[in-house]
Amino acid sequence: MTAHHPQTPQFFLTAPAVCPYLNGQIERKVFTHLVGNRAAELLDVLTQGGFRRSQNIAYRPACERCRACVSVRILVDEFQPSHSMRRVLRTNRDLVGRMGPAVASSEQYSLFRSYLDSRHADGGMAEMSMLDYAMMVEDSQVETRIIQYRQRGPDSSFTTVSDGDLVAVALSDVMADGLSMVYSYYNPSMPHRSLGSLMILDHIERARALGLPYLYLGYWVEGSAKMDYKIRFLPQEHLRPSGWARYEKTGDQTA
């Protein structure tokens, strides 16, 4: 396949497929390839336009009769955790998150499989092998990092922290204006920890420490219960036809 210059990428449209989020809907995506030494620059531009990355593909919804998928980014500098979010942080004080190169491991894959089998057994990723997983993690032309969250080991002390069990993993891109959470998963047998929320809270603080204004969360799908957690992290902006606009949530915002 010919590699095209990132300033003039070629875009393609997928065939219609069943929507994984809304019953009765059909999805299509527009996508392009991220290649060459300017792939990161291209991803920055496309992310501003609502694209997401998967390996060396940037994509966004292009459904004919539905506009429910909305790109979401958190305003890092203004964010303050709610009471319940502070409780999540307290509950997980025994965990340590370490950011490193995007390298796959069998330990990660074992946790990944447990997560899929428990939460997404019928999803499109259900049959992923170890090789597929390694490609998802490592096949990137942009600055990608993996963050592994572990329990503190039994021999940890005030000055040293040893590694305990792996409980959650996040694959994230570092962009010019923010962090973008590409994919995350966690131990499904620990619901009391709210590990999905913990990883978002941790990414907000990491973006703040890096001086980056945004945390990109991907798509919020109005009407899909599995996506509602994303709009609890306020303030945030949504990408509308006129550009990024502040989202004003109605009702209870203390969840």
Give the whole-angstrom CA distance, residue 70 versus residue 68. 6
The H or E element that residue 110 is part of is: helix 106-119
Residues 49 and 72: beta-carbon distance below 8 Å: no
In this prediction, residue 6 carries a pLDDT of 45
Name 24's Cβ contacts closer than 8 Å, sequence gap at least 6: none
Per-domain boundaries in the chain: 12-67, 82-207
Give the whole-angstrom CA distance, residue 182 versus residue 218. 8
Strand order in the sheet with 144-152: 95-101, 144-152, 163-174, 178-186, 214-221, 69-75, 236-240, 243-246
Tell the burial category of 221 from Cβ atoms under 10 Å away from its Cβ (0-12, 13-18, 19+): buried
- Is the pTM higher than 0.85? The answer reads yes
Block mean pLDDT (10 aa), the chain, length 255: 60 93 92 92 95 96 92 98 97 96 97 91 82 96 97 63 86 98 96 97 98 97 88 96 88 43
Residue 86 exposure: Cα atoms within 13 Å on the Cβ side: 6
Residues 198 and 92: beta-carbon distance below 8 Å: yes
Specify the DSSP class assigned to residue 127: T
Neighbours of 56 (CB within 10 A): 16
Three-state DSSP state, 199: helix
Options 3.40.630, 3.40.50, 3.30.1490, 1.10.3470; CATH of 82-207: 3.40.630
